[in-house]
Structures are given as C-alpha cells and as structure tokens.
Structure 1
Amino acid sequence: MRSMRVGALLRSVLGVCLFLPHLEGVHPGSPECPCIQPGSPLIAQAAEQFSIMGAPGYGTGGECRQYDKDLAFSGCAGATEVDCPGGDKCYCFEEWCYVDPSTCQMDKAKCLETGGTVGLDGNVYCRERDFEESSIIADRTGNTTAKAYFSYQTCGSLNTYDTKRVSEPVAGRHLKIKITSSYYWSFKGDVDPRSPQWNGWTGVLNKAMEDGFLRFSPAVSIVLDESWASETSRDKFSSSWTACVLDVAVGNADMCIGDFWITPQRMNLANFLTPFGNDNFYFVAPFAVSDETLGATLQKPFLPFTDGLWGVTFCFLIFSAFVMMVTDGHNMDDYENQNMVSKLFKSLYYSFAGYVGGGSANSPASVPGRLATVGFGFFVLITLASYTANLATILVTRGSATGLTSAQDAVDKGVTICIPGVVEAQLRSLFPSAVFELSTSTSGLPRLLWQGKCGAIIMGESGITNMHTGIYNEGDCGKVDDGTYSSDEEASCQRDGAGNPTSDRDCGLVKAGGLIMTVPLSVPVRNELVQSLSWAMRKTLSDGKVDTYKATFAQTLPPSACSGDGQSLQDALENPLESLRLPVTAMLGTTLISIGVMFLALLLSMAEIYTGKTIQQILGCSKEADIAFADDGQGAVKGTRRALIPSARAPSRRNLAVPGEDGGGVMGKQDRQRLAEMHRMLARLCGEEVKVEDFDVVEPKRGTKVMPLSTAGSNGISNGESNGESNGESNG
C-alpha cells in the first residue's frame, strides 16, 4: 500500500513538471499524452530525415506548435487563416506534436494501482488521447523503418489534414438506403442521367448526401430500397418513420433518407447525423368568419390599447385641457364665455375633439398656448400611429369556429387535440393535463379532426404548408380509391363536381397562438457510419450548399391553395388585390360606435327643435350674451329652431367703444354725443330709420379691442359712398 502511495505521488509530481513549461507560454501537451522531448530516441531517426527534407525540428520541438504553418511540403505555403474554421487549409494553423503512443493510451490496471480514478485528470494512466502514425516519413523518403506517432488532440486541436480516420468506414462502400417522399427533402422525379443511382429520386437531402459521398475517396455507392420500412419493423411501431429507424438499428439498412424528427425514443434505437434543420410546431384550429359575438365586435376598436394605456391617454387629455385653459383661456376667439366653468368644458371639448380628429381643434393665440398645442400634437401623432398599426391587425383577426386562441386555451377548455404520436412525450411535458388523440402520421391529422375525433391540432410547420397545398385531402381520397376506406365521408375526402379531390379542404385550419416547440431534423444511420457521414454533412452545411438546395427545391413545391387567413385563394387569383382589402365586418365595431355617437347628437337636436331652445338654455347654464339669434321678430317657439348669427357674441344694441380725443383714453360725454349724432346722420343718408337709443356710445370694457376713430369713420363713409353709387346705378 505504501509503495502505491509513493507511485501515485511520483506520477503527480511528473504531471506537474510536465505542465510547468506551459505556465511560461509553452504547451507540452496533456499530462496523459505529453509531447516527446528533443533528443528522445523515439524520434531520433525521424528528426534526421526531417532535416534532410528541409524541415528541421518538424514536430519534434517537445511542445505544441503550428509546425505546418508556411511549410511548402505540407501544402501550407501562402495559406492564411481567413477561411478558418472550415477551410481546406485550416490544418496549417492547428497545433500538434509527436508523442509516445505507450503513454497516450489508458491503462485501467495501472490507473487503479496508482490510486487514480478512471476518466479523471491528474493521472497519466486514467485518461487517453488519440494519436496516429505519421505517413509523411515513409512517403517522402521511402524509408519505412522510421516510425513516429503524432497527436493533435493532446494539443487541444483536431486533425483536419489527414481525414483517413473518418473516410475509412465509408470510402468505396455500398450503402443500402431506404427512402420516402417528404416535402422538398426527397421526392420522386425523372431519372437524372448524371445521377442514375438515385433512380429519379431528388430533393434537398438527396443532393446534400450525394455531395457528402463525393468527399470520400473512393466515392460512396448507394443501393436504393424504395419499400421504406420493413413489415417486421412496422409490426413493432405504428409510425412507419420510427419503423425505418429500427431497420437501421438492426441492420436492414445503413440509412433512411427523410426529414426525421429526433425524439428520445428514436435516439434510443439508432444514431443520427448532424441536424440539418428544425421543424417548428404550432397550434392549429378550425377557422370561421361570423361566429364573433356582438360584444367582441364592439370591443375591437378598443383592443389596440390595454386598459392601462387607455387610462393614461384619458388622463393626458384631461391634463391637456387644463393646460389649454391656463395658457390660452383669455383668447376670445376660442373662449367667448370667460366664465371659468365654461372655459374648462370648452377646453375638454378641444382636447378630446382634437385627439379624435387627429389634430388641434382650437386656434391658440398666445405663445404658451401654441407651445402646448405642439406637445399635444406630438402625443396625438405617436398614439394614433400606434393605434392604427395595432388596429389593422386586430380588425382582420376573426374568431375560430371553436373560439380557441392557443393550445393552452384548448387544454383549459377540455378540447381534444390531435397530435403526431411520436412527439407525445415532448407535448405531454408541456401540457400535462391535455387530452390528446394520437395519429400515426402528420398527413392523418386533418382527417381525424374532420372526423370529429378532436377539435384542434398540433403539427409541424412543414405539415401545415403541405396541408394547405391540398395533398393531404388528395391522399385521403386516394385511400378511398384503393379501398382503405369505404366512402368519401369515412375518409373525410372532399371532391369537386368532376369527382377530383379539392385542394382547399383544409384551408379552414389555421395557426393560432405562438410557437409551441422546435424539434431538430436529421437522418438515422448505422453506428459505425456516424462519424464519417456527420463529418461530410458538417462540411456540406458549412459550405452553404444545404441552404442553396433549399432555395432551389422550394421553387418546385406545389402552391398553397389558401391565403394567409385560411380562406380560399380562388378569388384572390382572379384579383390579386382582393386579399388585401378589409371586409365589412372589420369595421363593424367602429361603425356601430360612431353611429351611436351621431344618434345621440340627433336626439339632442330634436330636443332643441321640440323646445325651441338651445341645449345650454334647456340645462339652464347659458347667459344672454352666449346666444345670438337672428332678428326674426319672435321669441322661442316650440317646434321651431331659431337661426343663430355666426358671430359668437352679437349684442342686441349697437354699442360702440371708441378711444378718446387723445387717442388713448375714454372719450368724454360731449364727444360721445357728437359721435352719436354723426352716426345718426350717416344712417339717414343710407335711408335707415333710426331712433336715438339705437346709438348709445358706451365706454369700452377692459380687454376689449377698440378701433381708432379715424379708421371707423373712413370705413363708414367709404362704405356709404360705395353702396350709394352701386344702388344708384342699379336702380337707374
């Protein structure tokens, strides 16, 4: 026991000593697989040959370095790191060194003997690093007696130069491949003379796999099995896709080509390549246009803003009214009645009317009032723009036939949801209390819903796209034709007048709610092929070829028979702009509310006509000066409404306010009498009958705008001469 402890101590000291140079910027490799130090007999002959080749110290410096950088014989002369990672010359910048293979392998017996734990660091016998035999020495010199072993892994790098370790399992091999039609990933077409081995099969995956197979030398050959999953495997799994995964696991095939969902169940059966995409799952519910309640319709104009935001808007408008009253309340053009209560209500009117009208409803005369109008206008601009943007979306959002808005809503209401059986475990973890109806395939989900076995669906986005092209209905009708179902009703098959399957059966099934989950897509392969084919797939992905193939084959997909909201595209194809127009129901709520406000205005108008009074007079909150009626010689009469003079303040007598003789003060009594006499004379010249009391000059009130006497007189004479001349000429 004592000797074991001493051995473990020596090993630990050795590991520390090996790593001391690394602390000073030198990396000697990992403790369990250290770089061979210069002068070691293990690399003496190799070092001599490298000197002859013009690369002294190549890999023999006793530390991790970029030994290939700028080296001509390894193909790195002029190479740059611009294309790394992923480029063909990245190996030129990877660190490595020559190692002793006897120290790089795990020795479980010595690990335990020296007190170590298998798999943990700190003991060179308890972990291992990959190493490979160098082929450069024999290839360059023809001397096969010089052996040397190198390792990239001990330096924390990967060997991207020699791909022999990943190519050997598949290079020149015939792979047995099972294949089926699925979206644009793989489908049967005409035989391509450039790729006859695919027998007409093409698609994103076919092209990506073919590109990967050509990366090996010699290239990989394929043998297609178009029968898909074997009957034996189908007996064990209801899903033919999972059955094909089992075929790979038991050796019936080397690979199944298709966009497989990677699920825990399938990963327990076989390994998968590097994922090449994802499928997003959404909640899908039946769609209908006219099932909204009147309350929901009336509520829509108010939905763009939350209750809290409406509250903020209301408070801001009241605040704006107060600011208008304070900053511009003395403006006689907008506030004829200077009573404080009257100004407050007039300000509230200006504020709310301006917001609804999209701009200022008053005409401020003061600088503070105009500045307040700018602030009010900015608030109106931003809030109304936001309101309009949200309202456009809400108005075209109509209720579903089931009233379901999300998967959780369906779960809460106890609605059965149809789902693909292979993803039940994932969905069950998200919705533990949900009632699920399982389908063996995505294509069967709409059929189950139309058969009444569920009220909604959860399916992948690619399945939704396929569903809206009509191929699922076509498949259901095909099951009737081949005898799987006895009638169209049983298969939920929908046909047109000519007996052909329609393409818009499933247009009434649309997404509701947000993304539920994402499942990666990949291909199952035999265990011994995973590393090699995953390497090829990663290279193809990094080159961007998969994205290129997606863009190419997306153009071959059948067009959707449905518009964005699930309605048939038949009318939209005849008129492309039709789908952009809002239907009548979109503005129903707004129209009803506006009609309600106008109907109230009509009721108030009828009250004025019935009483012969204005609303202010009816409510008893008016002053004599507030109302200016035309002089029709009669008072208020029930059943009639007297015309209002346009001027807001029309005094019953012609009161005149003029400045005094000095041009600034109030004129004296004698001056007022002379001025009144002048007006009576002018009135007689115009042919008017006047009374003395008609012209009573009064002193101006504080704040009243007054007209200079000279201006008033000249205007009066000029008007009189003009009228007299025109009347004389016209009367002849």
Structure 2
Amino acid sequence: MTRAAAFLALWPLAAATGECPCITSSSALYSQLRAELTAEGLGADYGTEGCRAYDNENRSRSLFGCNGTAQVSQCENPWCFVDMTVCPFSLDRCAAAGAAPGSDDSPHCRTRRTEDKTILNTSWSYSYETCGSVNIDSIRHSVAIGGYVIKIAATAWAPWVVERGGEFGGPSYDFFTQSLKLFDPIPTVRLIPGWATEQSRRKFASSYTACVHDVAVGNFDLCIADLWLTPERNSVANFLPPLRQDFFYLVVPKTIEEVTFWSYLASPFRPFSVDAWLGVVAFLCGMSLLLWLMQLSDAGFCSRRQKFSWSLAEFGNSLFVVWHDFLLGQSSHDVENGPARKLISVAFSFFILIILASYTASLASILVVKRGAVGEISSIDEAIEKGVSICVPSVLGPTFTNLYSRASFVLVGSQEHSPRRMHAGDCKAMVVSQDVIDSLHAGYIKEQDCNEVQVTQTVTEDEGRCETDYLGRTRDDCNFIRVGEMLWSVPLSFPVSEKLLHSLSWAFTTGLTDGLLEEVKGNKLNKDGFPVPNCAAEEGNDDGVLSLEDLSGTFFISVFIAAAGLVCFVFETLRKGRSSAEEGLGVVDPQESQDIPKANVFLETAKAEERLAAQPDGIPKARSLESEELPNQKVQAAAFDLDDCLQMSRI
C-alpha cells in the first residue's frame, strides 16, 4: 500500500488522535518503520513508543549525534516519529470536519513543526514539538540552513554597505557574513549582480521595495542594503530583526544669531527665568517688610511726622540689609531677641543657600556667550504654520502625511537628493536622517551631486546644483542646520525568505546581543568610512574658560551701581559744603526754621536729654526743655511725646 493510499484510508480514524500525533501500531506505516530501524541497528522501539528521551536512554544509538563525546542539550529532550497521514495542515480537510482553522477540532486545523530523517533511503518525519520540547541550540538551525547556498542582492549605501573593488563590505554586510559562522557547515553566499530585477522595478518606484518583492517571489533569499522597514514592505516579505534605527530631523537654512551688548548684559540673569527672578524679588521684599514691622513693634509708635519719616528711612535700610545679605550669601539679622527672629533668620539663610547654589551651578557655562547659528525655522510646527514646503523621502511620505496632515510635503525619490532640491528652491526645509546630515556636513552629498552633474552627466546643473543655488549663490551645505526634536525613527532591516527566517533571525539576535555589530563597526576599514563633519565651528569659547568679553555684562552692571553710589557721594559732599557755608554766614533756611531736619532730630534730642539730666533737682524738666534752643531752631516739645521718642533714640 502506498503512503497516499494509507493516508486516505486511515484519515477518518486518525482525525480524533490530535494534531501531529506520534506514530502508533494503528498507523499504516508503523511496521515498515520498525523494520527499517532494526536494520539500521537502532532498535525497533527507537522513536516508536511515544514521547521519550530516546537519545538520553542509550546514547550508543542515536540519529542526532548523541553517541559522540560532546554533551548535546537536545539529547535530553523527548521526541517521537509522527504519523504524517494526519499531521499536514489542510484547509479543505479542516473545513470537511466542520472546524475552523486554528481550532483543535481536527488535526488538520493545526499542525506541529516536524523535520525529516532518512533511514535506509526512506524519509521519516519526527517532531520534538509534538512531545512539548524545543531544541534551542545551534544544531537545530544548522540542520535548517547549514551548508545552504544563500542567494543575495546587495547595493551600496555608505558607510553601512560599501563596495570595494567589486566586493561588498561595511558594518551591515560584515555583520551578515560574520553571523553565518554560527552555522555548521557555514552557508555559501552567492551574490546576484544588478540589485533588483527589472520585472520588480516596473512594479515599484523604489528599487529597494522592488528588491523586497524579489525576495517574496523567490528570486533572492536576502536583500542587503540600508533598507527601511515600512508597512508596505513588511506586507510583501518577512524581515530579519532590525540592525539599527534611522532617526529623522527637520533641516533648514541657518542664520547667524549676532552677539550684541545686550546679550552680554543679560547673561548674568540667564540662570533664572523672568518669573523665577520675580519670585526672588518678591521674597526679599517680603522679608524686608517683615523685619521692618518687627523693628517698629520693638521701638514703639510715635504720633507725629517725625515718626513717619523715621519709619520710611528704616524700611529703606531694611531693604538694603536684606539685599546686601542675599548678595553676600549670609544672614546678619539679630537672633538674640527671641525665637521669632531666630526662625526668620533660619528661613532666610535656607533661602540664600538654595537660591545661590542653584544660580552658581550653571552660571559659568551660561556666561559664555557664543555667536550661535539658529535655523530660519525653529521647528516643524513653525514650518507648518508658515506654509513652508518640506522635502521628504517618497517612501516615508504616507507616514509623515499621517503625522502632520497640515504640512506641505514635496516627495523626493531618495533622501540624499533632498539637499539638491533645497538648493534648487523646490522646498524650504527637508526631513532627512542623521546619517544624511552627517554626510551633508562632511561634503559627501555635494560630491555625489557634482559627480552626477560633471562626470556621469546623468543630471543637469539645474537639477544637481553642484555649483550654485537657485539664487546664484555658491552652494554651501554647511548652511543647513538641524532644528527641533527628532520627528520619527525607522528600523533598518533585511528582507528574507521564509526558509531562512527563523535561523537567520536567531543568528542576528545572537550577534546583536554579543556586540557583533559594534565590533565590525570598530574595525579600521569600516570606522574610517563614517563621515566626519568638516563645517567650521561657530564662534565662541568652547574650552569652558571665561573671557573678559564673557564677563563684560557683569562688569558693566557692577560699575553702573558703583557709579550711582559715586554720584550720591558727590551730591552729599556738595550739600554738606553748602550747609557749612550757610551756617558760617548765619543763613537759616525758612523751612529749617519750622521743621527740624529729619536726620538731626534724634541727635539733638539726645543732647537735650543729657542737659536735663545735668540740671539741679526741682527744676521742671519739660519746661527747661522748652527753653532750650537748638542751633538755628527751637525744639517743639509738643510735637511728640518725649518719653516715646527718647526710647526710639536709644534704639
């Protein structure tokens, strides 16, 4: 009886035995298998008695190398030969059983992974998965693709995939070839020239997507390139684990932000925002007011204008003391008069500690004012608001259109052509990857454009813009600057055939985990291929050392305050000289004859007190005080309560 006939005859009976069951005595091919196992010297029960770790029971007999000296983990796993008459997944047979695909109602609705072994020229299927075990070592994957001929297509994209003398290299390509060494025997790589086939190119605008299609239809096993994993491509073929990510940013023409005198003047205040400075000022003024009120409470209150004048003067003095202590970084308030003053002093000291520490933490770097470059547009949101046209790679056009529906995008076939479109005036901004930005600033993009214009002559000067931009200015790729946050990231991966998917995925994951990609990136040949930006650095002191120019704002503010103090000193000196001259001539200001100068009230009062104390007992002190004459004026005792103001003078 042939296998096909046995399959048809026994299918109704086997349908109830579960998916991919072990072969049993009821199977049509059971006797044949046992006979061939005996003839091979393995024993009739080897793999035919249900799920058992046959290779661990007797390692002298094994189909999987367990009779060698090396310990193999799969030798301890249970397995069995399976009855293939009921194992294959079949939609028709699943539907005939009235079941849904994926259900357990029929063994043809689900399946288990099986592999084949040849015994006496007959292929027999076995399964570890049927017995609930999986071989997780490299042997499993070597069995799948070890020694296999892998047909690949490759195209250069420096620095990750490069072509050197007709052979490919670069970090991505080298990572692939090094990963194959995990298999035994190592698969053979056969490079198919020409990248994507013409047939696939006619179906897709992008040659990269065309190569993905070639993998899907079986022309290639793998495409090696700097290839983005997009939804469209992933719907066509399987992909290996991503090797890295491409990060996309907005790039715009730059303008130089000139450094002015006001920039230096504002630099000492930049550690804090405006609202933070307002908070500091409010706290210090509140502290001054609190200390002033406490001082008034301690001194008592007078009832006349002299009291009011003295109070305002003391409030000004309180403001000065608080600000002076703050700038000195210490509190000099009296802490001997009760717990209230102690607590207030502690609060003020804590405020000074935290604020000044926060201020000085970043002051040095902030004082270094650079002549910085900024973009004509600061973000993609601003570009959208201004209606600026933005170049984006056509493959990512649907993604960015979904993300920024109001933006005006110009689709570009390849992202490295976006700079030439900018120079041509087709767009005012572009979305490109960091790799392209680095190549742009290293001069590689311009070199490629000039090669197409002047050497291969595949494009005209108006298209390639090798020499000038659309305004006639000399092309300068250093005039482009990255602005804003990262807009999007795209994984880079290789499309792969279904046969190689699992094994190569394991090899790639192992390589990435073991640092293989970083290792191949670090070898000299690949390391030297990465672009090094050669655009001149912007003016500024990058060594962290402050120059006199950086401190000019601080000097100006300090000198301005000192100059204000000098002006006050000059006016005070002139006023004192004038007062002395007038006193020598006996000239009395009419106003002074009616009102005691605020600055001398308490001094003259103290002198009057001393004279009162020196008079003999019995003379009324109040009356004697009324008869006292101060220089050029009389003390008007009725103007205020003497005892209270004497107390204030002692304070």
Do both share a fold (TM > 0.5)? Answer: yes
Q: Which residue of 2 aligns with 1:201?
A: 168
Q: Secondary structure of the equivalent of 1:538?
A: helix
Distance in 1 of aligned mates of 2:187 and 2:274? 65
Distance in 1 of aligned mates of 2:600 and 2:194? 91
Q: How does 1:589-608 map to 2 (within 5 A)?
A: none
Q: Which residue of 1 aligns with 2:250?
A: 283
For the pair 1:543 / 2:514, whether they are aligned, the reply is yes
Q: Which residue of 2 aligns with 1:718?
A: none
Q: Deviations over 1:54-109 (max 9, x none)?
A: 9x9998896698986998987899x99xxxxxxx9665776766655445443545
Q: Which residue of 2 aligns with 1:159?
A: 135
Q: Which residue of 1 aligns with 2:149?
A: 173
Candidates 271, 288, 293, aligned match of 1:321: 288
Q: Which residue of 2 aligns with 1:440?
A: 413
Paired amino acid for 2:350: G
Distance in 1 of aligned mates of 2:257 and 2:605? 63
Q: Deviations over 1:518-562 (max 9, x none)?
A: 101012344544344334323332332122112336631355234
Distance in 1 of aligned mates of 2:420 and 2:433? 16
For the pair 1:380 / 2:355, whether they are aligned, the reply is yes
Q: Deviations over 1:389-422 (max 9, x none)?
A: 89579x65956352x2211221121111111111
Q: What's the CA shift for 1:295?
A: 9.7
Q: Which residue of 2 aligns with 1:128?
A: 111
Q: What's the CA shift for 1:383?
A: 3.6
Structure 2 gaps, min length 5:
1-12, 300-307, 337-341, 469-473, 589-598, 618-641
Measured at CA, do residues 306 and 631 of structure 1 come closer, stay the same or move farther in structure 2, by a change above 3 Å?
A: closer
Q: What's the CA shift for 1:261?
A: 0.8
Q: Which residue of 2 aligns with 1:32?
A: 19
Q: How many residues align?
A: 574
Candidates 547, 556, 568, aligned match of 2:536: 568
Q: Which residue of 2 aligns with 1:271?
A: 238
Distance in 2 of aligned mates of 1:327 and 1:61? 99
Q: Deviations over 1:617-672 (max 9, x none)?
A: xxxxxxxxxxx9999555799xxxxxxxxx999947995999xxxxxxx988689x
Distance in 1 of aligned mates of 2:145 and 2:381? 48
Q: Give yes or no for contact 2:142–2:184 (8 Å, CA) kept in 1.
A: no
Candidates 460, 463, 466, aligned match of 2:433: 460
Q: What's the CA shift for 1:612?
A: 7.5
Measured at CA, do residues 519 and 302 of structure 1 come closer, stay the same or move farther in structure 2, by a change above 3 Å?
A: farther
Q: What's the CA shift for 1:704?
A: 8.4
Q: Which residue of 2 aligns with 1:400?
A: 374
Q: What's the CA shift for 1:330?
A: 9.4
The higher relative CO (CA closer than 8 Å, separation ≥ 6) is in 2
Cα RMSD over matched residues?
5.7
Q: Give yes or no for contact 2:196–2:211 (8 Å, CA) kept in 1.
A: yes
Candidates 524, 528, 553, aligned match of 1:556: 528
Q: Which residue of 2 aligns with 1:359?
A: 329
Distance in 1 of aligned mates of 2:647 and 2:605? 19
Measured at CA, do residues 517 and 328 of structure 1 come closer, stay the same or move farther in structure 2, by a change above 3 Å?
A: farther
Measured at CA, do residues 209 and 248 of structure 1 come closer, stay the same or move farther in structure 2, by a change above 3 Å?
A: same
Paired amino acid for 1:209: F
Q: Which residue of 2 aligns with 1:521?
A: 492
Q: What's the CA shift for 1:264?
A: 2.4
Q: Deviations over 1:544-598 (max 9, x none)?
A: 2122112336631355234xxxx514999xxxx757578999889x679x65x97
Q: What's the CA shift for 1:131?
A: 2.5
Distance in 1 of aligned mates of 2:278 and 2:58? 71
Distance in 1 of aligned mates of 2:25 and 2:577? 116
Q: What's the CA shift for 1:127?
A: 1.5
Q: Which residue of 2 aligns with 1:478?
A: 451
Candidates 357, 371, 374, aligned match of 2:346: 371
Distance in 2 of aligned mates of 1:163 and 1:152? 16
Measured at CA, do residues 446 and 555 of structure 1 come closer, stay the same or move farther in structure 2, by a change above 3 Å?
A: same
Q: What's the CA shift for 1:209?
A: 1.9
Distance in 2 of aligned mates of 1:655 and 1:259? 96
Paired amino acid for 2:147: A
Distance in 2 of aligned mates of 1:557 and 1:221? 27
Q: Which residue of 1 aligns with 2:466?
A: 493
Q: What's the CA shift for 1:432?
A: 0.9
Measured at CA, do residues 124 and 210 of structure 1 come closer, stay the same or move farther in structure 2, by a change above 3 Å?
A: same
Distance in 2 of aligned mates of 1:459 and 1:398? 23
Q: Deviations over 1:452-511 (max 9, x none)?
A: 221111111121122221111111222232234554x7633359xxxxxx9x93223222
Distance in 2 of aligned mates of 1:280 and 1:258? 17
For the pair 1:115 / 2:98, whether they are aligned, the reply is yes
Distance in 2 of aligned mates of 1:90 and 1:350? 81
Q: What's the CA shift for 1:186?
A: 1.8
Q: How does 1:46-61 map to 2 (within 5 A)?
A: none
Q: Which residue of 2 aligns with 1:682?
A: none
Q: Secondary structure of the equivalent of 2:110?
A: coil
Q: Secondary structure of the equivalent of 1:261?
A: coil
Q: What's the CA shift for 1:343?
A: 4.3
Q: Secondary structure of the equivalent of 2:487?
A: strand
Q: What's the CA shift for 1:150?
A: 2.6
Measured at CA, do residues 253 and 59 of structure 1 come closer, stay the same or move farther in structure 2, by a change above 3 Å?
A: closer
Measured at CA, do residues 316 and 439 of structure 1 come closer, stay the same or move farther in structure 2, by a change above 3 Å?
A: same
Q: What's the CA shift for 1:375?
A: 1.2
For the pair 1:210 / 2:210, whether they are aligned, the reply is no
Q: Deviations over 1:683-728 (max 9, x none)?
A: xxxxxxxxxxxxxxx999659889xxxxxxxxxxxxxxxxxxxxxx
Q: What's the CA shift for 1:122?
A: 5.2
Measured at CA, do residues 101 and 288 of structure 1 come closer, stay the same or move farther in structure 2, by a change above 3 Å?
A: same
Paired amino acid for 1:511: R
Structure 1 gaps, min length 5:
1-9, 16-30, 81-87, 191-198, 496-501, 615-627, 638-646, 659-665, 672-697, 707-732
Q: Deviations over 1:106-146 (max 9, x none)?
A: 354554344321223455442211123467xx6xxxx8999
Candidates 390, 400, 403, aligned match of 1:417: 390
Normalising to structure 1: TM-score of the pair?
Answer: 0.62
Distance in 1 of aligned mates of 2:577 and 2:52? 104
Q: What's the CA shift for 1:233?
A: 5.2
Q: Secondary structure of the equivalent of 1:262?
A: coil
Q: Which residue of 2 aligns with 1:430?
A: 403
Paired amino acid for 1:400: V
Q: What's the CA shift for 1:600?
A: 8.3
Q: Give yes or no for contact 1:230–1:243 (8 Å, CA) kept in 2.
A: yes
Distance in 2 of aligned mates of 1:670 and 1:71? 131
Q: Give yes or no for contact 1:129–1:154 (8 Å, CA) kept in 2.
A: no
Q: Deviations over 1:10-58 (max 9, x none)?
A: 999x89xxxxxxxxxxxxxxx5346689999969969x99xx999x999
Q: Which residue of 2 aligns with 1:258?
A: 225
Measured at CA, do residues 268 and 62 of structure 1 come closer, stay the same or move farther in structure 2, by a change above 3 Å?
A: closer
Distance in 2 of aligned mates of 1:254 and 1:33? 29
For the pair 1:149 / 2:106, whether they are aligned, the reply is no
Paired amino acid for 1:271: N
Q: Give yes or no for contact 2:19–2:106 (8 Å, CA) kept in 1.
A: yes
Q: Percent identity?
A: 26
Normalising to structure 2: TM-score of the pair?
Answer: 0.68
